[in-house]
Structure formats: structure tokens, C-alpha cells
Amino acid sequence: MTQTGIPFVFMRGGTSRGPYFNRADLPTDRETLAEVLLAALGSGHPLNIDGIGGGAAVTTKVAMLSSSQDDWADVDYFFAQVSVEDRLVDFKPTCGNILSGVGPAAIEMGLVQATAGETEVKIRAVNTGARVVARVQTPEGRLTYAGDAEIAGVPGKAAPVALNFMGVVGSATGAFLPTGNLRDKFDGIEVTCMDVAMPMVIARAADFGLTGYETVAELDANRDFFARMEAIRLEAGAAMGMGDVSKSVTPKFGLLAPARDGGTIATRYFMPWNTHPSMAVTGAQCLASCALTPGSVADGLLDRPTESPASVVLEHASGTIDVLVDFEMNNHFTLNSAGLLRTARKLADGKIYVPARIWEGA
């Protein structure tokens, strides 16, 4: 045999998509695993022509599931971000959009048994240690993808997947404010470095000479902005205790501006070397937390909700995303949990084939 077949479920999760594997069907050592994922997704070509990636960061994501080693959780979710062209695999971050498909995929794989009406799936995000409760629609004990929920960035309607995130503060760095400051200044730009579900560097769009309402295409074409943003991200990453982040997709970068379409605040999110077409679930939690935190770079850009839980509507490049934030405000902002509504859909299943010279299988 010249190829190795690996069982998978191919799913859209939120506004991302990718293969969902049973971790037991993949190599145990990280180096071989990375090579297998690079081959499966076709990294190294802008169209991922020799794999199932879609030529964009939101379509070169991988979920690996297993029965949880945590007494609290049902499923362990191990995430990998595969680069489109650079043949890199980043195991540091997690992805909340792909997480939207973990509950349905776990049921598809037989890792979780569906219950009548709605199935609660407790998920441990291996990369960050975050705990998430997903509520999946299973009428009469059968998984369904049909429903009336709509999310920006995805056409049509589908069954809702409700996500409630807990333990997301300091998910990567161990601190809500990894630098110890509400604001820092790098290259003359004020930023808030925050770690809620995703470590981020957050700035005001106006400080870059931007409106914050630019389209994805307009931002991606602005290479001067990207060069300056990346320089700030690298400096901030070191200040956040994350070391050299030049080859890591974290920390991510976000921009804020006053809302103009009825939301709470306008946002743009970066992955980080191009603009996200909509909004990451993890990034949404961090940006919403920044918006609610007095003293952050969000000061003056919104009228802050003061009662908890608060609905924070983030305007993004494709529409809006609503984050329900449970918090306390004593001497400072304290996040308890954040909830979002997503959808997911199974697109295909079967086997992905990779050259046997990379991995001959178990």
C-alpha cells in the first residue's frame, strides 16, 4: 500500500471547516502527527490542491477528539491550525468555531450517546484547558443539522449549537492581563493585551489611521498596516510572556471602533497574517471582555453595560456576533463565563489518504 487511510468526519463548525478525527486514529508523536496533518490538508500550496484544505486559514483547521481524561468532561478536543502555504502546524491555540462541531462530531463518532431532545456535551479544550458545555439538538435521540438558527458568515439556517465557555481567563498565559497592565504602548500604539479564551493584542482602529469599518479585502490589501501590526504583535507577544511568536498564530490581533450598525462595538479580527472574514468564537469572547473592562483601549468607544449578564454585540466584517457575558464588577472586571450560539453541519465522512512514506498507520 502506498497510502494510509484515516477515518474522518468533515464538518463546518461555525464559520470554519475542517476534518474531525478520532485521536486514536492518528500518530501519537507530535512530529509525525504534524506531517500527517500537513499532507491531509495540502499545506504548501495556495489552493491546498493536494489535500482537503480550502486555501484559507478558516478552512485549514483540524479537530482531534477522544474520550476525556478529565472527570468533568465527556470529550477531549485537541485543535491544530495548519497553515495554507508555509507548511506549519500550530498546536498552541484553540478554535471556538471548530469547537461548534465537536458535540455533533462526538455523537457521529460514537464518543457520546445522544439523548432525547437535546444532548449536553462537556468538552475539555486540550490546548488551553478551557471547559465548554455544548448543547446539541437531538430530537428523539437522533442528531439533526436542520433548524432555524442563522449566524453571520454562513448561508442558510441550521440547528443551533449553544456554547457556554468556562475557565477561559488566562487560557494561554495564566493571566487576564498578561503584561500586568490595562494598557501598553508598542511602536507608539496603545494596546490592551488580554487573555480570555484567546490571547490577544487589541488596539483602536483610529490609532492606525483606519475607520474600523474597512472590508476584508481593503484590510488585506493594506500591507503597510499589516507590517506595523505584526511588529507590534511580536513585541507584545514577548511582553505577554509568550516568547518569540513570529511562527505562531497567537497572540491574535484585534481592532475596535465605535459601533455604526446598532451593535455594542465595531471590531476586526486578524488570524494574524490576514483578516478574518467574520469573527472567531474565542476572539469574540476576548474582544467582548475588553469592551466591558474599564481602563482598556475600548474606553470612549461604547456605552458599557453595567449589569450582568450583558449581551455584547460585536459588529464584524460579515455581520454581528452576540456574546452573553457573565461578569462581576467590584474593584475590577471579573469574567465568570461567556456564551455564544453557533451552528455546525456534517459535510462528508470516510477516509483521508496520506502517503504511506509519511505514516504507515498503526
DSSP letters for 158-181: B-EEEEEEES-BTTTTSSSSTTS-
Residue 83 has a pLDDT of 97
DSSP H stretches of helix in 240-293: 281-292
pLDDT digits 0-9 by tens, 35-87: 999 999 999 999 999 999 999 999 999 999 999 999 999 999 999 999 999 99
In the chain the beta strands, taken as DSSP E runs, fall at 3-13, 16-22, 61-67, 75-82, 89-90, 117-125, 131-138, 160-166, 184-186, 189-196, 198-204, 252-258, 265-270, 310-316, 319-329, 333-355
Residue 341 has a pLDDT of 93
Residue 332 has a pLDDT of 86
What is the pLDDT of the chain when averaged over all its residues?
Answer: 96
Residue 205 has a pLDDT of 98
Q: Does residue 1 register a pLDDT over 90?
A: no
| Beta carbons of 340 and 134 less than 8 angstroms apart | no
Q: Does residue 110 register a pLDDT over 80?
A: yes
DSSP state letter for 50: T
Cα–Cα distance for residue pair 186/236, rounded to 1 Å: 7
pLDDT digits 0-9 by tens, 154-185: 999 999 999 999 888 998 999 999 999 999 99
DSSP state letter for 257: E
Residue 330 has a pLDDT of 84
pLDDT digits 0-9 by tens, 315-347: 999 999 999 999 998 888 899 999 999 999 999
| Beta carbons of 120 and 113 less than 8 angstroms apart | no
Amino acid at 131: R
Q: Does residue 226 register a pLDDT over 80?
A: yes
pLDDT digits 0-9 by tens, 270-320: 999 999 999 999 999 999 999 999 999 999 999 999 899 999 999 999 999
Q: Does residue 248 register a pLDDT over 80?
A: yes
Cα–Cα distance for residue pair 162/205, rounded to 1 Å: 31
Q: Does residue 119 register a pLDDT over 80?
A: yes
Q: How far is CA 345 from CA 9, 19, 128, 254, in A?
A: 10, 12, 25, 28
